[in-house]
Amino acid sequence: MENSNDKYFIALSAQLKNIMEQKNIEVVDLAAAANIDRKQIYRFINSENVPKITTLIRIILALGLEPKLFFDFTFDFKSYSQEQNIEKIKPKE
């Protein structure tokens, strides 16, 4: 895991918090269901560390969701791309 102040990561953290609140799921129970250390989930929901994609998938599946549903939230990718200096690659002619 790595530290991050990345806006998208912070939005993902908020998404996890919201889903856990909606489903009334405690961190301890989610950690047990995902078979990961509860500290990893605490660090994620507090936007302290970016989990590996495999850890994130474990969390999402333990929530009873399909990954595409977890990632289905409003986010301004256009502004994010500009802030991060990300350019779309153009196909070769």
- CATH code, domain carrying 26: 1.10.260.40
Element (DSSP H or E) covering residue 29: helix 27-34
What pLDDT score does 21 carry? 98
Task: List, in order, residues 6 or more apart from 51 with CB less than 8 Å away.
Answer: 1, 40, 43, 44, 59
68 located within any domain: yes
89 located within any domain: no
18 located within any domain: yes
Residues of the domain holding 18: 7-83
pLDDT digits (tens, 9 = 90+) for 70-81: 999 999 999 999
**Residue 12 above 50 pLDDT?**
yes
What pLDDT score does 3 carry? 47
Euclidean distance between CA atoms 86 and 72, whole angstroms: 21
What pLDDT score does 1 carry? 40
31 located within any domain: yes
Higher-pLDDT residue of 16 and 49 is 16
Q: Considering its fold, how many domains does the chain have in total?
A: 1
Q: Is 15 helix (H, G, I), strand (E, B) or coil?
A: helix
